[in-house]
Amino acid sequence: MDNFKKCTWLYIGTQDVWALFIIVLYLSKYSKMKLGKPHEKPEFNDATYFTMLFAAGIGIGLFYFGVAEPIWHLEPGHYGNRYYARYSDNQRAQDAMNVTFFHWGIHGWIVYVLVGLLLGFLSYRKGLPMTMRSCFYPLLGDRIYGWMGDFIDILSIVCNMFGVCTSLGLGVIQLNAGFKRLNRNIEFSTTNQIITIWGVTVLATGSVISGLKLGIRRLSEICFSIGMVLMLIVLFYDDTWYLLNLYVQSIGYYLQYVVQIGFHTDAFAQLSNAPDKLQASDWMNDWTIFYWGWWIAWCPFVGMFMAKISRGRTIREFINATLAASLFYTFLWLTIFGGAGLRMERNAAMANITCSSPLGGSNATQNFKGLYRLSCRGKNDMWFDLMDQYGDPWRIPVCLVPDCSDSGSLVIDCLSANGDPDPPVPQRVFWALTEGATATALLYAGGADALQALQAVSIAAGLPYTILLCFMCVSLWRAVQMEAGDLDPNGPQFSVSLFNPIIWPSCRGVFKLLLATVAPCHDGGGVHLPVNGISYVGWAVLFLFFGVATAIRTGIREEDGIQGNMVEDFFVVMLLYPFAAYQMDQHVLNHRQTKMNGDVEHGHVCENPAPKVNSDTK
């Protein structure tokens, strides 16, 4: 996991950029456009629509982290995070809620919104297939139906599979802990967790076979209703006025600090060289980066599922439902369960309950006057410890696990069927079973470190998709501009495609691509210097080249009126510089040849432009 520290800037920075982009889109004139034809109405009513969004998007995660995460942030161990021993106990408790809100707030949901918007807009308004390759149609055109589109869909299936399996693994680990509390003879073991996976898989398979409008819809409504009952029980059973106060207060703190915490990368802490040793060098990697990788790995699944149920809604309505409404409900859930957990932790400390206490301690099987010292308890026990004081409602969350799995199976079915909205039943069964098998393999291989293995897989799956999401922003903006008539899709373009050397391969094209790869400036060779640290000089020169190439590409755009901007040019040059170099070279040559042909046709002599020639001379 240490290698992912090098990607902190990328994960943090891109989430901020995507959030700003969606805000700009929401405030623009394009937000009135519908995900569908102008006359179409929403397919699902608002209540059903919201329940499906919630159950598919974050249902399992809220049960798993709703109580545990605020407790972990409150009592992280000796300098387990940057807030430890920094303020009073009251401020530390508020910081714990603030960080929890951050991980489940705008920066998380934004990836779902981006993918869902783009896919729904292009599918329902332009008639493109409901598959991830369609997201890049404004950039690649019909080339999405070739190998590039296949690559995008395969990557989406992999990300979707790992993202769903991460949550499925987290869910069954917690279910195993719950079953053990029901029956002490049931062991907390990988074997029992695998058995639980296949029980959930059977339920999910039945749901996905019945389809979106029956099985998945009804299961979502049932699970959401049960979750609401649970949440209201805790709200009214616990200290209601404290929880309502905490909800209002925490939203205020979140709005005040969202920009600051949203750009925080723990730059100094990750150096691990603080003279006073007051640092938590692994906290960012273990928490925020894991979360962003997890959200991104889920975005093909949840984004496509959101698009499937959003036909007939405007862009602004979509953002309101998937971002604003979902955020306030998520924050309410986290406040009620997380706030109740913090209250129990503080009361347990006042009651002198410690980790070694026989009642309410780390290994205790019974509470002390309804209290557990949650910070001493296992991560899979905290939710049940909290709910134990209210009676039996903690037995309920089993339904959200199959609801997540069946939605994920349906999305993978559609991806593998090239966007078919009603994939064959055998294919639905195959992917539902494959999800179960993948989650089983991850848990079996991980053993005691199963969660860490799932976290690593989640982040690894999300990293390549981070790059694609950046291009999706460009694609969505172009799509709405073209639809509004502000951008001509048939306007000036580069004379050759970016991927021309591999779409239309030739000996000359392949040679030029290889030359651009090893010598983009056409130097014709390199010099090997056995100097210590010369590789870092090479990196500096490489990025200097990226800057120069970006300036050249932008200059070509401006001279020939080609649509685009400098940011696009930079990412194209940085990520695909051999193709960019080839494209610019061929475009300039073709442009020069076209100009020369035009001069000859109109009687102009480029070598000696001074003498005037009759314009009718051929």
8 Å CB contact between 257 and 98? yes
pLDDT exceeds 90 at position 16: yes
Structure-model confidence comparison of residues 153 and 81, the more confident one: 153
User: 611 falls in which pLDDT band (50, 70, 90)?
Assistant: very low
In whole angstroms, what is the distance from residue 316 CA to residue 428 CA?
Answer: 33
Q: Which residue in this structure is represented by tokens 């159950």?
A: 55
C-alpha pair distances (Å), 406 with each of 55, 152, 400, 445:
11, 22, 10, 24
- Band of the pLDDT at 97, cuts 50, 70, 90? very high
Segment holding 266, helix H or strand E: none
Q: Encoding tokens for residue 301?
A: 């699944």
Q: What is the CA radius of gyration of the chain?
A: 28
The 10 Å Cβ neighbour count of residue 590 is 13
pLDDT digits (tens, 9 = 90+) for 125-151: 988 998 889 999 998 888 888 888 888
DSSP state of 581: H
Grade residue 601 by pLDDT with cuts at 50, 70 and 90.
low
What the block records as the tokens of 226 is 């049960």
CA–CA distance, 557 with 570 (Å, rounded to integer)? 13
Q: What is the pLDDT of residue 447?
A: 57
Q: What is the sign, positive or negative, of the torsion defined by CA atoms of 250, 255, 257, 259?
A: positive
Quote the tokens at residue 120.
Answer: 């729904």
561-570 pLDDT, tens digit per residue, is: 888 888 888 8
Is the Cβ–Cβ distance between 299 and 114 less than 8 Å?
yes
The per-residue pLDDT for 4 is 60
Phi, psi of 606 (to 5 degrees): -65, -35
The answer to whether residues 80 and 353 touch, using CB atoms and an 8 Å cutoff, is: no
Torsion of CA 156, 159, 165, 167, to 10 degrees: -110
Q: Give the residue with greater pLDDT, 87 vs 556.
A: 556
Which of 301-310, 391-400, 595-604 shows the highest mean pLDDT? 301-310
| Residues facing 368 on adjacent strands | 371
**How far is 233 from 420, CA to CA, in rounded Å?**
42
The helix, strand and coil proportions of the chain, stated in percent and rounded to the nearest 5, come to 70, 0, 25
pLDDT at position 395 is 53
Query: Are 285 and 9 spatial neighbours (Cβ–Cβ below 8 Å)?
Result: no
Q: Output DSSP code: residue 321.
A: I
- Separation of alpha carbons 171 and 175, rounded Å: 6
Give the residue among 43, 62, 61 at the shortest CA–CA distance from 318.
Answer: 43
Q: What pTM did the predictor assign?
A: 0.81
Q: Is the pLDDT of residue 165 over 80?
A: no
What separation, in Å, do the N-terminal and C-terminal C-alpha atoms of the chain show? 70
Count of CB atoms situated within 10 Å of the CB of 615: 8
**How confident is the prediction for the chain on average, in pLDDT?**
79
- The closest of 526, 569, 579 to 546, measured between CA atoms, is 569
281 confidence band (pLDDT: 50, 70, 90): confident
Share of the chain above pLDDT 90, in %: 23
pLDDT at 63 over 90: no
Q: How far apart are CA 217 and CA 615, in angstroms?
A: 72
Q: Which of 91-95, 515-519, 607-611 has the lowest mean pLDDT?
A: 607-611
Q: Quick one: pLDDT band at residue 314, thresholds 50, 70, 90?
A: very high
Per DSSP, which regions of 244-372 are E strands? none
CA 168 to chain centre: 17
